[in-house]
Structure 1
Amino acid sequence: MSFQTLVEQTEIHPEGNSASSTPFDADSFNEVVMSTYGRFPLALERGSGCRVWDTQGKEYLDFVAGIATCTLGHAHPAMVAAVNRQIQKLHHVSNLYYIPEQGELAKWIVDHSCADRVFFCNSGAEANEAAIKLARKYAHTVLDIANPIILTANASFHGRTLATITATGQPKYQKHFDPLVPGFHYVPYNDIAAVEAAVTELDEGNYRVGAILIEPLQGEGGVRPGDVAYFQKLRQLCDEIGILLMFDEVQVGMGRSGKLWGYEHLGVEPDVFTSAKGLGGGIPIGAMMAKKFCDVFQPGEHASTFGGNPFVCGVALSVCQTLEKENILENVQEQGAHLREGLKMIARKYPDHISEVRGWGLINGMEIKADSQLTAADVVKAAMDEGLLLVPAGLKVVRFVPPLIVTDTDINQALQVVEKVMVKVTA
Structure 2
Amino acid sequence: MAGGVPRIFVSHLSGTAVFDPNGDQVGRVRDLVVMLRVGRRPPRLLGLVVELATRRHIFLPMTRVTGIESGEVISTGVLNVRRFEQRPTERLVLGEMLDRRVRLVETGEEVTVLDMSVHRLPARRDWEVDRVFVRKGKEGAFRRKGETLTVDWAAVDGFSLEEHGQGAENLLATFEQLRPADLANVLHHLSPKRRAEVAAALDDDRLADVLEELPEDDQIEILGKLKEERAADVLEAMDPDDAADLLAELPEDDKERLLTLMQPDDAADVRRLMAYEERTAGGLMTTEPIVLRPDATVADALARVRQEDLSPALAAQVYVCRPPDETPTGKYLGTVHFQRLLRDPPYTLVGSILDDDLRPLSPEDQLPVVAGFFAAYDMVAAPVVDEGGALLGAVTVDDVLDHMLPDDWRETEFHLQEEAGHGA
Range into which the TM-score falls when normalised by the shorter chain = under 0.3
Q: TM-score, normalised by structure 1?
A: 0.25
The alignment's TM-score, normalised by the length of structure 2, stands at 0.25
Q: Which has the larger radius of gyration?
A: 2
